[in-house]
Structure 1
Amino acid sequence: MSRYAELTPDAYRVLSGVELGAGVARGEWSPVQLARLALDLAREAEPAINAYVGFREDAALAEAAGLEREAAEGRLRSPLHGVPIASKDNMYLVGEPALKGSRTTSAEPARTASPFVQRLVDAGTVVIGRTTTPEFGWKGTGISPLTGITRNPWDPSRNSGGSSAGSGATVGSGAVPIATGSDAGGSVRIPAAFCGTVGLKPTLSAIPVWPGTVNESLSHAGPLTRTVADAQAVLALTRGPDARDPQSAFVRPDPAVTGRPLRVGVVAAPFGIAPSAEVAARTAPAVEAVRRSGIAEFVDLDLDPAVPREIFEGLWVTGRGHGFADLIRAQGDVMDPGLARLLPLAQEYSLPDFLDVLQARRAFNAALFAVFDRVDLLLMPTMPLVAFEADREVPVGGESGAKLPWITWTPYTYPFNVTGQPALTVPFGRGPGRLPVGLQVVGPFSGDETVLAFGAAVERVLAPTDESVVAPRR
């Protein structure tokens, strides 16, 4: 008979990673027990949501057994010792391939891990599998030529969001409390908002990014989690410089604001773009509850700069189009047509055009940074709409012919990749028959601790509005 306490699947699905790690530390639960629960729940959800490229069942259980022995001897690596996680399939894990959502990539196992993944492994987490992504993480939906459609755990007819599609879907389903993601235009926050999870895009390169990307000045590594406390734990364990990401050498964490109330600017229509009637109707009472809570001083605020669509298009189209040019020329026929189309679009930009984009980016960033001379944080919807149909790249009536169709419906996320600022989405209002909605907290560059502390307070205020914190079983 096991010396560990019973943990039912339903109880497991609502405990945070930090709470599960505390149970392992107390000797209440076993890392093997948690890994089996995670694998069983993930497999159970798979036919409906398609969140995984592959599982690591044998390796995960062997690693969990080793961590169980360490825990029994009192050797705990971190607060997440023995906690099961999943990893996005554009990051390297030793012994596993990184297929990156593409038919063009090698299945050769990686010999070196990405720093984000390796630091979590060193902290004693157990990676149960690799999660789906659109091809090379190039867009905001979960549709890939390699793995097909990843679906929303709350309603499989709806979009999971992307590009951290499988990570959002599996955390939202309750299979794992934490998954790795990357975000160059919203790729953590979009699936987190659609799938009802917390999603953190830290300050640019606070968590080092390697392998490098063709849009390195936009690309952030960050987690999708059950709770803000889990995101805080992951950031604490994985932040810090790595020579393979030179940008990471310049990130200096600022302490959270103390000694006075936070000043929070509430933005109802970010960049002058109003959310859908459904999102507005659900967000307004949530924001009012946060206002009444007294956790900060609040002011209504407009964001004066226009949404930086042409800036982002210039950076993204040239980076992806030229960065994958050789691959598109050689194998474009088996690639996502939208990604392959970026090569001719990139060739339309001259060098003066690109320099104009950089100048415009500088002006936009200066305007956004100046907002934080008046407030400490911004509070706004994460997405202007709820998850739409799973097989669509844009909602009905959307701009399917745009250079980057996915940015036409994500105007609240990608601007903060242009600036590199930290942004956190906190879910609320989840429950049977209701698709999740998220509130986004944005802070100044390097203000991650302030963002997370306030996000945790928002989470506590909004917790009573959630009938269920994980998607219903199907």
Structure 2
Amino acid sequence: MKPIEDADPLCRMSAADLCTDYRTGRFSPVEVARAALARAEAIQPLYNAFRCIEHNDALAQARASEARWRSGTPLSQVDGVPTTIKDIVWVEGWPVRYGSPSSSDTPCSRDAPAVARMRAAGLTFLGLTTTPEFGWKALTDGPLTGVTRNPWNPDVTPGGSSGGAAVAAITGAGVFHLGTDGGGSIRVPSAFTGLVGLKPTYGRVPAFPASAFGTVAHLGPMTRRVADCRAMLGVMSGTDPQDWLQGPAQWPPLDTAPRDFKGARIGYWATPPCGAVEPEIARVVQAAVASLTRLGAEIVPIELPAGDVTETFNVLWYSGAATRAAALPVEARSKLDPGLREVIAAGERFDAVRYVQAMGARADFGREMESLAARFDIIISPATAVLPFAVGHEVPPGGGLSRWVEWAGFSFPINLSQQPAAVVPCGRSASGLPVGLQIIAPRGEDARVLDYAQAFETAHPEAFN
């Protein structure tokens, strides 16, 4: 049984359907908020998706939305849609803890720009979802909130670092879910739980405060359906003067363009820069690729541009972890997640020259990836090289790996290139665990990624939740 099948029918509706019913008066935002909050409370003891559930604020926002719909003055086409936010993004009036006991429990004085845009659209904020300490790894467990579990099998991880958002999404505790992605933190949990997750082009969604992990870190939507992902991205997107790194870009519109796979030229990236692809992942993804061929696509095998992209990412990521730790009191650092302390120590060993060299290697890789992507309508790959594995481990037990990056080789290179990448569910393993397909396009072409994701959903509705 899919994890959402026992949810209240109000928790299984899309944003568009909810708002149609808000407009007609069939359901109100308050009824939907109550159902979503009840679902959040019901799944919390089982899977640990939330750091906090904010009943009072959510119901106050839903009542305001209800009044707007009744007067015919909604703030947006998604006014009143239940939404969660990762416990790493500022929300005015809520303490954002970054998954760490070392963080302050003082409420934030203002919203992050993306949250402010969602608030201005009238969304109903249910609460903050779990993350590992400072979002440092592609799992979701840590000293503040403990272990987050996968609803498909509670003994395995939902991935991370946006794992709480993924669990909330797949169980129906909200429709829109704000995640962050510095090396796969939206796409890995989307793959591990059977969601649609998008890492947008860097800068499309404004970010403030700036991440210690720099410009590999993105904010993006996680949803059960592609149309919801597009609608949420539309609300979050835009320029904001607080995000100086974003620049003054004018982004291409997110309007949908009907597409199918007939005649599409698709690059197929099947070998990650590190680690090995598990046979079950290869089987399910290859079946999805074969289906695209039957739909008329031309599939062209490709490889990543040459260079040690893993080492480049590690220098930047570990240096970011060390930068984040440098802002903490010495006594707090000794209490951090042991794995995070190891990463911090590695980052502290890199000097400025090595960091600048890594930035240069990144620029070379990004330029070559843009050139590669320009040759195709889209590039596809497995979303992850591994299936969800036992909770409490950074790497699959017995696999000979040491750090999460080694099994996330299909995700972190696209953080280096800053290209848009969506994950969609494409099937399940023999044991019933979800498998994801990644769709990549050149920078700025977020709409194209979503268009092809929608075409895949249309062709494979049985894979979606």
| TM-score, normalisation: structure 2 | 0.93
Cα distance in 1, alignment partners of residues 424 and 324 from structure 2: 33
1:366 aligns with 2:367: yes
Q: Assess if the C-alpha contact under 8 Å between 1:252 and 1:446 holds in 2.
A: no
Cα distance in 2, alignment partners of residues 430 and 74 from structure 1: 43
1:377 counterpart residue number? 378
Cα distance in 1, alignment partners of residues 362 and 394 from structure 2: 26
Counterpart of 1:69, as a letter, is: A
- 1:344 Cα offset (Å): 2.7
Cα distance in 1, alignment partners of residues 59 and 102 from structure 2: 30
- 1:352 Cα offset (Å): 2.2
Cα distance in 2, alignment partners of residues 131 and 243 from structure 1: 27
Cα distance in 2, alignment partners of residues 110 and 465 from structure 1: 39
Which secondary structure does the structure 1 equivalent of 2:438 belong to?
A: strand
1:15-54 aligned at under 5 Å gives the runs: 15-54=13-52
Which secondary structure does the structure 2 equivalent of 1:434 belong to?
A: coil
1:266 aligns with 2:268: yes
* Percent of matched pairs sharing the same residue: 35
Assess, with a 3 A threshold, how the Cα gap between structure 1 residues 370 and 431 changes in structure 2: closer, same or farther. Answer: closer
Cα distance in 2, alignment partners of residues 339 and 433 from structure 1: 31
Counterpart of 2:57, as a letter, is: A
1:293-304 aligned at under 5 Å gives the runs: 293-294=295-296, 296-304=297-305
- 1:175 Cα offset (Å): 1.6
Q: Assess if the C-alpha contact under 8 Å between 1:198 and 1:226 holds in 2.
A: yes
Assess, with a 3 A threshold, how the Cα gap between structure 1 residues 414 and 59 changes in structure 2: closer, same or farther. Answer: same
Q: Which moved more, 1:344-353 or 1:378-387?
A: 344-353
Q: Assess if the C-alpha contact under 8 Å between 1:253 and 1:448 holds in 2.
A: no
Assess, with a 3 A threshold, how the Cα gap between structure 1 residues 34 and 426 changes in structure 2: closer, same or farther. Answer: same
1:76 aligns with 2:74: yes
Cα distance in 2, alignment partners of residues 88 and 173 from structure 1: 16
Which secondary structure does the structure 2 equivalent of 1:133 belong to?
A: coil
Q: Which moved more, 1:361-370 or 1:339-348?
A: 339-348
Cα distance in 1, alignment partners of residues 395 and 429 from structure 2: 25
Length, aligned pairs only: 456
Measured against aligned partners, the alpha-carbon deviations of 1:435-466 in whole angstroms (never above 9, x if no partner) come to 11111001101111111111111111111345
1:287 counterpart residue number? 289
- 1:280 Cα offset (Å): 1.0
Which secondary structure does the structure 2 equivalent of 1:155 belong to?
A: coil
Q: Assess if the C-alpha contact under 8 Å between 1:271 and 1:306 holds in 2.
A: no
Assess, with a 3 A threshold, how the Cα gap between structure 1 residues 182 and 93 changes in structure 2: closer, same or farther. Answer: same
2:3 counterpart residue number? none
Q: Assess if the C-alpha contact under 8 Å between 1:271 and 1:304 holds in 2.
A: no
2:213 counterpart residue number? 215
Counterpart of 2:192, as a letter, is: F
1:275 counterpart residue number? 277
1:411-422 aligned at under 5 Å gives the runs: 411-422=409-420
Measured against aligned partners, the alpha-carbon deviations of 1:68-117 in whole angstroms (never above 9, x if no partner) come to 11101111222211111111011111111101100011111112001111
1:5 counterpart residue number? none
Q: Assess if the C-alpha contact under 8 Å between 1:172 and 1:195 holds in 2.
A: yes
Cα distance in 2, alignment partners of residues 374 and 271 from structure 1: 21
- 1:185 Cα offset (Å): 0.5
Q: Assess if the C-alpha contact under 8 Å between 2:7 and 2:171 holds in 1.
A: no
Assess, with a 3 A threshold, how the Cα gap between structure 1 residues 345 and 94 changes in structure 2: closer, same or farther. Answer: same
Counterpart of 1:323, as a letter, is: R
* Structure 1 unaligned spans of 5+: 1-7, 470-474
- 1:267 Cα offset (Å): 2.2
- 1:314 Cα offset (Å): 0.5
- 1:196 Cα offset (Å): 1.2
| TM-score, normalisation: structure 1 | 0.91
Measured against aligned partners, the alpha-carbon deviations of 1:316-344 in whole angstroms (never above 9, x if no partner) come to 11121133224263312221112222333
Assess, with a 3 A threshold, how the Cα gap between structure 1 residues 347 and 252 changes in structure 2: closer, same or farther. Answer: same
1:253-402 aligned at under 5 Å gives the runs: 253-254=251-252, 262-271=264-273, 274-294=276-296, 296-306=297-307, 308-327=309-328, 329-398=330-399, 401=402
Cα distance in 2, alignment partners of residues 78 and 262 from structure 1: 34
Q: Assess if the C-alpha contact under 8 Å between 1:25 and 1:76 holds in 2.
A: no
Counterpart of 2:339, as a letter, is: G
Cα distance in 2, alignment partners of residues 102 and 399 from structure 1: 28
Cα distance in 2, alignment partners of residues 47 and 430 from structure 1: 26
